[in-house]
Amino acid sequence: MHDGVAAYVLGVLDEEEHEAFERHLDTCEQCQAELLELAELPEQLGELKNAPSASSGDDPPMSMSR
């Protein structure tokens, strides 16, 4: 995956990088396909951020419970 695709989707590129990536996107079929796959990512991340936690808050995340 091209790093620029994720950065573009998440909106973290500065104006110059954004414009350069859009020019690249015009000719790169692989990045176009990746963009389609990631297009809903910001919305999905927003939903996760606003979703109520499934745990009571007393248990550490599984990765920390070793």
**Cβ atoms of 25 and 35 closer than 8 Å:** yes
Question: pLDDT by residue (tens digit) across 9-20?
Answer: 888 999 999 999
15 falls within a domain: yes
Looking at the structure of the chain, the number of domains it has is: 1
Position 21 scores a pLDDT of 96
Question: pLDDT by residue (tens digit) across 6-65?
Answer: 899 888 999 999 999 999 999 999 999 999 988 887 777 777 777 777 665 555 666 655
18 falls within a domain: yes
Position 54 scores a pLDDT of 62
Position 32 scores a pLDDT of 95
35 falls within a domain: yes
pTM of the predicted protein model: 0.61
Parent domain of 22 = 1-42
